[in-house]
């Protein structure tokens, strides 16, 4: 028998159905690829739209947040003093410290009973600046407290925060003025500052202040935080000091200093920074050493009274607190390595007073008055100048004081509310806020 050489008969209908199936499969694959491209392109477009909307909203917020000083009538006659809202030069204050208790808080070698201060409503906090380095963002994100969202009365949620409060003055130790130990505070004479003299309205001359101040320093703290901390006395164990008189026994000054870059069109005025907290005690000779007019001015400041200010064409009503004035100077300029330009700037602007309005807030407690000075809201030029100087704070001895500006003859000469020296504070050596 021979071998059959014929091929099996192929059904043409089967071949055509297979071709159709292959064509359909290829079509489906191409369709999926096209759909993927369309979906990805839509995602990209959506992202672009959301980014543009975010930018637009930020721009709107920036325009909405724009404000101006409506009380310019308080500007004094031909004065050389500065206003933080306009001017470019605001005075700055500026081994891991484990909240040392070797001097038991505010007073060296003294233990004081402490009071728990009451919390009040604060505004909703904003997020950390997008310019924050990732390493810094991680360290600052480990705070032991957070704010309750959607509530006008934001209270601390962490039980730990209620059980343990920071002992006032335990992070920055005291040292005598002549030693100038780095990372410490010292007491200075109020008379070391120059203020408006008795005849200032006529001769525009300043003279050294009297040797008496309304409050004297008790201690200082420095905290790092991922955002501003308003009314910081709520988280501090405040000494139980009660001195009879018309003024609170303790004055707390909370200086809020930004550590993120300044921006010209900055819609947010919050972000990582430090809080330099200064504590002062009412003078036991408050009624004896200070004139009645100055004590009356302090009462108006505490009670948030208003006054009539002469202006053209009409008089205006302004808060008395807008007279609060910051005095600051670098006491060791000769020890700093400054360029010729920097020396000229420092000589021109060192020890120039700055009215703190409108970047300040006041909080009145049971036995204390807290004043928050918000450098985050200073003008761009002031912020930029401070940004270039902040790394040199660890080399500076900074003198800080407060007074109430005298706009009338009866308010002169000016007297000091308080005064203190901060010796070479290096903020990188201090702990973040979170107890």
Q: What is the pLDDT of residues 56-75, one digit of tens each?
A: 344 443 333 333 233 333 34
CB atoms within 10 A of CB 261: 13
Sign of the CA dihedral with 402 first, then 305, 295, and 240 last: negative
Name 59's Cβ contacts closer than 8 Å, sequence gap at least 6.
265, 267
Specify the pLDDT at position 313. 84
Using CB atoms within 10 A of its CB, is residue 200 exposed (0-12), middle (13-18) or buried (19+)?
A: buried
Contacts of 175 (CB under 8 A, 6+ apart): 181, 184, 185, 186, 423
Query: Which structure tokens are listed for 72?
Result: 């310019």
What are 370's two structure tokens?
A: 């807290």
pLDDT for position 63: 36
Say if CB 237 and CB 181 are below 8 A apart.
no
Report residues of the chain scoring pLDDT below 70: 1-163, 434-435
* Spatial separation of the C-alpha atoms in residues 68 and 71, rounded to whole Å: 9
pTM: 0.67
The CA distance from 18 to 22, in Å, is 6
H or E stretch covering 330? strand 324-330
Which residue's entry shows tokens 């290829």? 26
pLDDT of residue 26: 61
Residue whose entry in the numeric block shows the structure tokens 């343990």: 164
Of 266, 225, 275, 243, nearest in space to 381 by CA: 266
Supply the pLDDT for residue 163: 52
């Amino acid at each position: 028998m021979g071998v059959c050489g014929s091929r099996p008969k192929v059904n043409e209908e089967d071949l055509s159905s297979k071709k159709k199936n292959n064509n359909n499969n290829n079509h489906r694959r191409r369709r999926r690829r096209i759909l993927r491209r369309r979906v990805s392109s839509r995602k990209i477009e959506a992202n672009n739209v959301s980014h543009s909307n975010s930018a637009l909203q930020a721009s709107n917020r920036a325009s909405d947040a724009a404000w101006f000083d409506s009380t310019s009538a308080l500007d004094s006659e031909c004065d050389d003093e500065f206003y933080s809202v306009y001017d470019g030069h605001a005075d700055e204050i500026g081994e891991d410290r484990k909240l040392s208790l070797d001097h038991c808080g505010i007073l060296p070698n003294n233990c004081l009973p402490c009071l728990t201060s009451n919390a009040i409503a604060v505004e909703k906090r904003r997020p950390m600046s997008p310019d924050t380095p990732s390493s810094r963002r991680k360290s600052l994100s480990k705070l032991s407290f957070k704010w309750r969202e959607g509530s006008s009365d934001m209270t601390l949620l962490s039980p730990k925060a209620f059980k343990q409060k920071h002992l006032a003055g335990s992070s920055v130790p005291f040292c005598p003025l002549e030693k100038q130990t780095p990372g410490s505070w010292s007491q200075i004479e109020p008379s070391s500052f120059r203020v408006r003299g008795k005849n200032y309205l006529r001769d525009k001359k300043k003279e050294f202040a009297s040797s008496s101040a309304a409050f004297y320093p008790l201690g200082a703290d420095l905290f790092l935080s991922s955002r501003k901390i308003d009314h910081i006395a709520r988280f501090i164990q405040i000494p139980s000091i009660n001195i009879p008189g018309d003024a609170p026994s303790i004055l707390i000054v909370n200086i809020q200093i930004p550590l993120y870059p300044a921006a010209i069109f900055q819609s947010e005025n919050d972000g990582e920074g430090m809080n330099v907290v200064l504590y002062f005690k009412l003078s036991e000779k408050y009624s004896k050493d200070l004139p009645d007019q100055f004590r009356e001015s302090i009462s108006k400041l505490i009670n948030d009274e208003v006054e009539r200010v002469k202006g053209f064409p009409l008089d205006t009503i302004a808060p008395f607190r807008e007279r609060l004035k910051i005095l600051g100077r670098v006491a060791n300029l000769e020890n700093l390595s400054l360029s010729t330009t920097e020396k000229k700037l420092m000589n021109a602007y060192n020890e120039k007073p700055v009215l703190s309005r409108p970047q300040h807030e006041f909080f009145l407690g049971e036995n204390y008055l807290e004043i928050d000075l918000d450098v985050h809201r200073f003008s761009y030029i002031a912020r930029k100048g401070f940004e270039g100087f902040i790394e040199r704070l660890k080399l500076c001895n900074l003198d800080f004081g407060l007074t109430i500006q005298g706009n009338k003859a009866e308010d002169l000469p000016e007297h000091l509310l308080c005064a203190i020296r901060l010796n070479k504070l290096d903020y990188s050596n201090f702990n973040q806020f979170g107890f």
